[in-house]
Structure 1
């Protein structure tokens, strides 16, 4: 029977090998958790480039009140002509699995949508550590990405509807930010329970690498989807929510609080 290889530490104590181990599996799950988090964080900033119609809506609905006039009366009656424009909030076009839409959102509305995430994110930084200590890291992680994945899916369903409510979209982005705000504090609590001081930096680094990879992959594939696929920006929300649910299943099945 083979024996497990051990590593002698500076203080003379020994520890089990890192690969393979439960600790390394946990680090990989944290790595994928941050990929999911950052993909859900940046999906809207990328998709909004394709979602918003940069030209102002014109003559979606026109009603004319023009009096018939003789040639010498044209200048006089021109002042009595009226044109009323009823702008639309959504422009629908093209085909595909999803009907492609573009929104006439003002710059202020776009800023609010993009800032909604951070409006929620700042409020759960400190509570995140408290939740991890009192509820357990496993369920804080599960609740965080489970909630954000549901909110992202709700955004997708709302985008598919004929009428998209701006306020509801803003609230959902705030909820995603609130959910994600607990992850970093919970990660600190996680490694205080699972890793000895000599390997905490290694395990934490493995997990935090997911932040950069999640951002990079979402920016890359999000741009390609928007450019080459009809309704491609909708797929960006669908994919990031599905990834969250898949991760959630693995997390609940394979992890424990300590």
Structure 2
């Protein structure tokens, strides 16, 4: 018995999760295992892509629908804009397409507040979502969260017609709360399922779902709203899509390889051998907040995320309004053109990821240098492009080209700072991701509301000011990242391996540890990876 306890203790302190894989298979399990020729980690990748896609369609569908919900007739005559662009189709002095469902008298400030409501809830559940996913697994944390958002999306038309702007704002907050755990839970599942040498491809696959969601959401919304159709169809469609995804997710995906009932034994052994997260070890340790909050690379990552999200949310939330209200595209064209920048970003993200991995593999630059280069491209490139677009006046084709180019350059974000959390803390990837996303999500809260304040009449000159603010935020936060970014695992992510840095005076970070650590566990210097 004493020897058995020693073995169990040794396993708890082991580097990898080695849960016995021998189990008796029933007939159904054998049949499922024989039918599944595609490795389960790739099925997880595809379902993760569809999950992120689903999350973003439900997030952005209101951005386009709100242009058809609000009656601008009243406010249009109160302000004369000498720089106003001509409408797409005009018959005499009236637009050719009537909008019988545009019944709400919401000003730009109110619209901005409604659009920002989602991000209040989104910020509130990032850290709790990361904790729940690390404690209970990512499958149900992610699945139930997105299911709740799908149900709220489906109910949106009923809620709006019953309670107006106030009820819609509350509903958007609840939708954001449902989506908050998405990224932390997915990051934890990828850390459990994907070997380090496959993470670039799987990361591009899964997180590319954001662009697929923006493409699909914008394009389908444009079709569903064309010719003055009822905007309620948008919410019914995407809410139903979310419920359908949850059904597939529940049947096909599991939190870890060792809990998957019909994964092949070959793949299970391969993952247990190659996935290096110290799952058992860190599960008993508290999150090292004292070290995380004192880490310069973490705060550099936070600042870069704030800048990226500011630029990204400006595009995602307000580009449909800019295209419709300023450039005066009709709603069907707006939906199609709004999708084009995200197609460019999705394609370029794979290109940037391939280039970054190739350069690192060849030794042409370090991981740190690669993260800085691609984050800089993803920040300064879009900042310049949106300013140029705002000075093109009513040259709508050239303006859209610059918007498309700006989002294409923003694709470098995935091979830059997006995967940097896995570099810094593979064992606490969910916690770090939740911290970064919680902080950066405030950009999503501030941006729509601030743009609503800066563009009360939605004129070209007012929007130019909003784009200059975006330029300053993108470039300024990128400078901070370039100074303090890092590309290697941090000591606090695995104290047992790396020890404490010289001069650490803030107590132990792991359980059952003597606060007076010996000199033998001091952190030794490491070269940048």
List per-residue Cα deviations over 1:25-47 (Å, max 9, x = no partner). Answer: 11100010011111011011110
State the match for 2:65 in structure 1. 47
Whether 1:109 and 2:127 are equivalent positions in the alignment is no
State the match for 1:237 in structure 2. 235
* Structure 1 vs Structure 2 CA RMSD: 1.8
Alignment of 1:13-52 (within 5 A): 20-52=38-70
List per-residue Cα deviations over 1:2-45 (Å, max 9, x = no partner). Answer: xxxxxxxxxxxxxxxxx821111111000100111110110111
Shift of 1:121: 1.4
State the match for 1:144 in structure 2. 145
List per-residue Cα deviations over 1:227-250 (Å, max 9, x = no partner). Answer: 22521x211111110010000000
Q: Is the 8 A contact 2:221 2:234 kept in 1?
A: yes
Runs of at least 5 residues in structure 2 that lack an aligned partner in the other structure? 1-36, 76-98, 257-529
Q: Distance in 2 between matches of 1:51 and 1:153?
A: 16
Instruction: Give the number of aligned pairs.
Output: 197
Q: Is the 8 A contact 2:71 2:102 kept in 1?
A: no
Shift of 1:176: 1.0
Q: Secondary structure at the match of 1:227?
A: helix
Largest Rg, 1 or 2: 1
List per-residue Cα deviations over 1:59-114 (Å, max 9, x = no partner). Answer: xxxxxxxxxxxxxxxxxxxxxxxxxxxxxxxxxx75xxxxx352111222211110
Whether 1:167 and 2:185 are equivalent positions in the alignment is no
State the match for 1:132 in structure 2. 133
Q: Distance in 1 between matches of 2:228 and 2:49?
A: 29
If each structure's strand is expressed as a fraction of its own residues, which one has the higher value?
A: 1
Runs of at least 5 residues in structure 1 that lack an aligned partner in the other structure? 1-18, 58-92, 95-99
Shift of 1:150: 1.1
Q: Distance in 1 between matches of 2:57 and 2:103?
A: 22
Q: Distance in 2 between matches of 1:126 and 1:213?
A: 26
State the match for 2:187 in structure 1. 188
Shift of 1:118: 1.2
Q: Distance in 2 between matches of 1:22 and 1:152?
A: 30
State the match for 2:264 in structure 1. none
Runs of 4+ in structure 1 displaced over 6 angstroms? none
State the match for 1:60 in structure 2. none
Shift of 1:185: 1.0
| TM-score, scaled to structure 1 | 0.72
Q: Which has the higher contact order (CA 8 A, sep 6+)?
A: 1
Q: Secondary structure at the match of 2:73?
A: coil
Alignment of 1:72-87 (within 5 A): none
Shift of 1:144: 1.3
Inter-CA distance 127–107: structure 2 relative to 1 (3 Å threshold): same
Q: Is the 8 A contact 2:71 2:105 kept in 1?
A: yes
